[in-house]
């Protein structure tokens, strides 16, 4: 079994297309098909079920996929470790980055600082729901990820460091009946209010749903949006109400870039929530047993910015 066979196998598994996989690997489709056939001969099993319209992994293919990713990840980490002996002059960092950052610092500053220190490291940044990125760290697709998950929400098998915890707040329009109140319970929201919710499967959406559950409230109708900036502005226009981390409105890296003394857009009102557990956590997750030098260096830069707290 050769490493290139595993790379070709994963290219087909990712694209579900021999044609696209061959293009991505810069080889002829016939050559790629031959290498896949050799791999199937080596493992003694068919790895793909092929029809004129689709390509699917067989049971053997599904079993091999995570193992192949681990093998190639280990090879890359070994090469990176050797590169580290030369001062980490080259390598790759595959970083997952959540959109909602409840951190006391700006993650863009961290990435810029890292690039200045290690200009030879190629950066590959992925934005996806927290649960997906944590799973990608486990599988080896990502080296580490900054996710909207608290300590009890991090999957088994991953190490984590808490980067920040930020109180959730309710954003309403200036015409909302609760607009003049500084603090509310989620149960105070009128029954007819539509909740503008962040994309499902994200760490923030889980934390917001948990806050409504603690209040014994069914949030009712949902208006799902994939951008924090849009959620806040829609709430300010009276489309509904939204629950977001306070730092997404105010502070470094916020969606709106507002300072503490600034007014939210369109006269929106920001209301505190009378629930001490209504908090948005942000953690960095990684596999400490397989941490590549480039990823270890990124953790060190985060620590320099004051962003590494409790963890395991």
Report yes or no: 48 and 61 within 8 Å, Cβ to Cβ.
yes
Q: What is the mean pLDDT of each run of 10 residues along the chain (312 residues)?
A: 88 91 88 91 90 87 90 78 61 83 71 88 87 90 89 87 87 92 91 84 81 86 79 89 83 58 71 90 88 87 71 52
- Strand 279-286 to 159-172 pairing: antiparallel
- Is CATH 3.40.50.300 the right assignment for the domain spanning 166-278? no
Instruction: Return the pLDDT at 81.
Output: 65
Mean pLDDT of all residues belonging to the chain: 84
pLDDT at position 263 is 65
pLDDT for residue 305: 79
Radius of gyration of the chain (CA): 23
pLDDT tens-digit series, residues 222-273: 788 878 788 888 998 889 999 988 877 766 555 555 555 556 666 788 899 9
Q: What's the CA angle centered on 195, arms 135 and 199, to 5 degrees? A: 20
At residue 140, the pLDDT reads 87
C-alpha 226/C-alpha 239 separation (Å) is 16
The pLDDT assigned to 123 comes to 87
Tokens of residue 186, six digits: 């989620």
Q: Are 158 and 147 in contact (CB under 8 A)?
A: no
Task: Judge whether 3-63 and 79-163+281-304 match in fold.
Answer: no
Tell me the pLDDT tens digit for each residue of 291-305: 888 888 899 898 887
Q: Which residues contact 271 (CB under 8 A, 6 or more apart)?
A: 169, 170, 171, 172, 178, 179, 181, 182, 183, 184
- Chain Cα centroid distance, residue 115: 20
Task: Give 209: exposed, middle or buried? Use CB within 10 Å, 0-12, 13-18, 19+.
Answer: middle
The third-level CATH classification (topology) of the domain covering 3-63 is Arc Repressor Mutant, subunit A (1.10.10)
Question: Where in the chain does DSSP place strands (E)?
Answer: 48-50, 55-57, 91-97, 121-126, 144-147, 159-172, 183-184, 195-198, 222-225, 241-245, 269-273, 279-286
Token reading at 24: 């991505």
pTM of the model: 0.62
In the CATH scheme, what is the homologous superfamily, with its name and number, of domain 79-163+281-304?
Periplasmic binding protein-like II (3.40.190.10)
**In the chain, where the domains are located:** 3-63, 79-163+281-304, 166-278
pLDDT of residue 96: 93
Q: Is 185 exposed, middle or buried (0-12, 13-18, 19+ CB in 10 A)?
A: middle
Q: Supply 241's token pair.
A: 């109400």
């Amino acid at each position: 079994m050769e490493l290139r066979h595993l790379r070709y196998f994963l290219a087909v598994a990712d694209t579900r297309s021999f044609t696209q996989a061959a293009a991505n690997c810069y080889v002829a489709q016939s050559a790629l098909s031959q290498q896949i056939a050799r791999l199937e001969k080596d493992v003694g099993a068919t790895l793909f079920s092929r029809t004129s319209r689709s390509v699917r992994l067989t049971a053997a293919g599904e079993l091999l996929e995570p193992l192949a990713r681990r093998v190639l990840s280990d090879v890359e980490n070994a090469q990176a470790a050797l590169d580290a002996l030369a001062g980490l002059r080259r390598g790759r960092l595959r970083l997952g980055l959540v959109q909602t950052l409840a951190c006391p610092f700006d993650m863009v500053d961290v990435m810029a600082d890292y690039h200045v220190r290690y200009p030879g490291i190629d950066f590959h940044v992925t934005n996806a729901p927290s649960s997906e990125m944590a799973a990608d760290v486990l599988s080896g697709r990502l080296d580490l990820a900054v996710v909207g998950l608290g300590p009890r929400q991090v999957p088994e098998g991953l190490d984590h460091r808490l980067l920040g915890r930020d109180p959730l707040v309710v954003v309403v329009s200036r015409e909302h009946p609760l607009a003049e109140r500084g603090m509310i319970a989620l149960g105070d929201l009128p029954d007819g209010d539509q909740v503008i919710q962040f994309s499902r499967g994200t760490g923030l959406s889980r934390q917001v749903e948990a806050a409504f559950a603690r209040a014994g409230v069914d949030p009712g109708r949902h208006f799902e949006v994939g951008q924090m900036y849009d959620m806040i502005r829609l709430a300010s226009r009276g489309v509904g109400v939204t629950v977001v981390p306070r730092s997404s409105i105010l502070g470094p890296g916020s969606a709106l870039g507002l300072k503490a003394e600034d007014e939210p857009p369109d006269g929106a009102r920001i209301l505190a929530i009378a629930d001490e557990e209504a908090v948005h956590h942000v953690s960095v997750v990684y596999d400490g047993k397989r941490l590549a030098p480039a990823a270890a260096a990124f953790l060190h830069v985060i620590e320099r910015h004051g962003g590494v707290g409790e963890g395991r």
